[in-house]
Structure 1
Amino acid sequence: MYPENLEFGAFLSPMHPLGEDPTLQFQRDLEFIELLDRLGYAEFWIGEHHSMGWNTIGVPELLVAAAAERTRRIRLATGVMTLPYHHPFMVASRAVHLDHLTRGRFVLGVGAGGIPTDARMLGREMSELRAMFRDSLEAVVELINGEERVTRKTPWFTLQDAKLQLAPYRRSGLEIAAASVASPNSMKLSGRYGISTVSFGAPRPGHPRPDMKRQWAFAEEAAAEHGTTVDRRNWRITLPVYVAETREQALADVREGYDRWAYGYWGDVRGLDVDIPGVKRSQALEAAVDAGSAIVGSVEDVVAGIERLREEVGGFGTLLVYAQDWADWERTRRSYDLLARYVAPHFTGSTRRLYESVQWYKDNRDLFPQLIP
């Protein structure tokens, strides 16, 4: 049985089209986090990238620290910190400091990295990243939530009698989540170490969404093999979501931005094939929505799309809206407002007792004398 209630958050890769002043862009990203905090979203994730123009945040920990001072309750996460680019001791040290600065609101999201220009600039081979991620993750988990000193030597880092001076803010430890795109690697590592997971449900344009139900099975199988446990409540899935008053309005709002993202970034900048066989470019957005690679529509459409996703994967704990600049800022704000006010209650249960109250009265009206106007 999957978790009864679903939480909502946002995942900022970031993916900002070229042209906007980056200083003002960072300011708006922080305002975005403040907005979601006020609207009651549970989490906000901030990515790490160093090249290709659209991905402007290279040090997500700094934005987490800035956002922590502007927000009250929303959990803040690196989405994700690329472990092969950092010494594991420094990753662990920064994470625990953020855990204290946020009073336990920090989640350390980690991954192997996937942008080839980032790897090249740092002297990493793409073929090495998964093995480096595995080596670093084991050390990071031990340094943050373990008690013993860590000694380990690999081809790219050394730890000798290493132990952090600070323990995590909570006795239960600091939550660590491994990111998974399509391969079973990260899911198996999550199961091995009993940590959380975040799965990217938004595939590259023109490609099918990965089988996330099978991905979760990899985590469960690894957990059983290594004597640990994994919990669906700690499984996040990212997916583009956009809500408007009608399906037609929603598609009209994001069509230009989707085309810019799919054909401008993935097609032109990355040089990848994003065409869908038999589908015209003008209908690519509808094809993505029909395939479940994005959820775009009215409140009712979005509720139905999320329900389908839950049924498909067998349940998960948090839906992270994969934040894209597909619509202008005012319409984007409206989408997140509609999602929080009218979509989320179907999954959080926040309005359940209100409906029960109305229904009870309707079922028992004969108990009350009708007032004569």
Structure 2
Amino acid sequence: MAGQKLRFGAFIAPFHPLNENPTLSLERDIELIQHMDRLGYDEAWIGEHHSAGYELIASPEVFIATVAERTKHIKLGTGVSSLPYHHPLMLADRINQLDHITRGRVMFGVGPGALPSDAFMMGIEVAKQRDMMDEALDVLVPLLRGETVTKKTDWFTLNNARLQMTPYSRPSVEIAVASQVSPTGANAAGKHGLGLLSIGATSAGGFNALATNWAISEDTAKDNGKTVDRNAWRLVGPVHIAETREKARENVRFGLEKWLFYFREVAALPLAPTDGTDPVDALIASGMAVVGTPDDAIAQIERLQTQSGGFGAFLQLAHNWADFENTKKSYELMARYVFPKFQGLNENRDASLNWAKDNRETFMGQAMMAVGTRVAQHIEKKGTENIRPEILEAMGLGKKPDAAQ
């Protein structure tokens, strides 16, 4: 019997260096998801950012509405909507509308906001963002289930608020909470029985916190009379693969340094080595990234499964380290050689081939017997004197006469 399939997708911030045409960069993000849709990827999550010039999508909802019209199957999520930046009723209304126009293909990822510069421009205190996320989530969950909500905080008010349309997805659109190292996301997911998006799953801190954060989510869910499902847990990590490790390393030289500059100088995350060592070596050695072959990607996912205890989807962090053609090739190699390992796609094929191989002698004997029976029937009906010599030879019953005779 077939087991549960690990799902695959991408977490698309997106990251685009400043020497490229931003309009064409956005179009390329759409093309990437179309490519994923054709390859059989399950989901794509789209970020929300408003400053720093590198992560270009300001409205994941607008982007999702566009790409939904150009794809057939892939599910599309906000990755993530920054809750302190939006009045909860307005955000819930937009997500609910997307749920209807995509016929249930939308997912709702939420978080407190990743860039302090975004919050600064809006006059939001960074120290309050996580509390604001919790307050917003307290009302977003019932609103998206079609309930009526009244609540007043120091930054929003709801008076008998409800969405005009009942949800398309029941009981509501799927909701997932962003989590990195701190327990904030795990607590929020557990409180409401929601999914978990472990965005930094392969960083040292994020990897070490996987099991702990899931335990926090489970304990908090139990305390609030809820349950959480490992199948709704997504782990995110950067991957670029090629036919050989050498080719993969060559590919990522195209854009890796620009990506590292952004995180080193702007986002201020310690992802790049500062001791002069090769950054590709450092990313691989730390476990942060896969730059290699499909077998290396398989090993990384197995490592994450062991550390976490099990999860439902692996999301590639879209990074544009390679040029677009090699990026698409990497996604194709994932679909061709990594998906089958974790989705049991070839289990029946393996069983069928081995069964046929193990019984080949029996099957060939029966086939030869069937052929022999037909030959004998033909000879009996025609007589050997009425059958051309070349036909007798083909049947193994005679030798073709020499041309000189």
Same fold by TM (over 0.5)? Answer: yes
Deviations 1:239-272 (CA, angstroms, capped at 9, x unpaired): 001111012211221145223212x111233456
Kept in 2: contact 1:209–1:292 (CA 8 A):
no
| 2:69 alignment partner, SS class | helix
Partner of 2:165: 166
Q: Percent identity?
A: 46
Q: Which runs of 5+ in 2 are unaligned?
A: 369-393, 395-405
Q: Aligned partners of 2:267, 2:185: CA distance in 1, in Å?
A: 24
| 1:177 alignment partner, SS class | strand
Partner of 2:350: 355
Q: Which runs of 5+ in 1 are unaligned?
A: none
Deviation at 1:292, TM superposition (A): 1.8
Q: 2:240 aligns with which of 231, 239, 242?
A: 242
Kept in 2: contact 1:47–1:60 (CA 8 A):
yes
Q: Aligned partners of 2:84, 2:129: CA distance in 1, in Å?
A: 6
Q: Aligned partners of 2:328, 2:287: CA distance in 1, in Å?
A: 23
Kept in 2: contact 1:191–1:228 (CA 8 A):
yes
Q: Aligned partners of 1:44, 1:9: CA distance in 2, in Å?
A: 5
Work out whether 1:260 is the aligned partner of 2:255.
Answer: no
Kept in 2: contact 1:202–1:240 (CA 8 A):
no
Partner of 1:182: 181
Closer, same or farther in 2 for the Cα pair 1:275/1:37, shift >3 Å?
A: closer
Q: Aligned partners of 1:114, 1:269: CA distance in 2, in Å?
A: 12
Work out whether 1:104 is the aligned partner of 2:104.
Answer: yes
What RMSD, in angstroms, separates the aligned Cα atoms of the two structures? Answer: 1.9
Q: Aligned partners of 1:208, 1:317: CA distance in 2, in Å?
A: 17
| 1:368 alignment partner, SS class | helix
Kept in 2: contact 1:7–1:41 (CA 8 A):
yes
Partner of 2:309: 314
2:295 partner amino acid: E
Output the TM-score relative to the length of structure 2: 0.86
Partner of 2:293: 298
- The structure whose RCO (Cα within 8 Å, separation 6+) is larger is 1
Partner of 2:211: 213
In the TM superposition, 1:57-206 aligns within 5 A as: 57-147=57-147, 149-201=148-200
Output the TM-score relative to the length of structure 1: 0.93
Closer, same or farther in 2 for the Cα pair 1:268/1:170, shift >3 Å?
A: closer
| 2:364 alignment partner, SS class | coil
User: Between Structure 1 and Structure 2, whose CA radius of gyration is higher?
Assistant: 2
In the TM superposition, 1:315-330 aligns within 5 A as: 315-330=310-325
Q: Aligned partners of 1:266, 1:37: CA distance in 2, in Å?
A: 29
Deviation at 1:290, TM superposition (A): 2.5
Deviations 1:1-26 (CA, angstroms, capped at 9, x unpaired): xx842110011011111111111111
Closer, same or farther in 2 for the Cα pair 1:101/1:25, shift >3 Å?
A: same
Q: Aligned partners of 2:269, 2:55: CA distance in 1, in Å?
A: 17
Kept in 1: contact 2:197–2:234 (CA 8 A):
yes
What is the aligned residue count?
A: 366
1:94 partner amino acid: R
2:277 partner amino acid: R
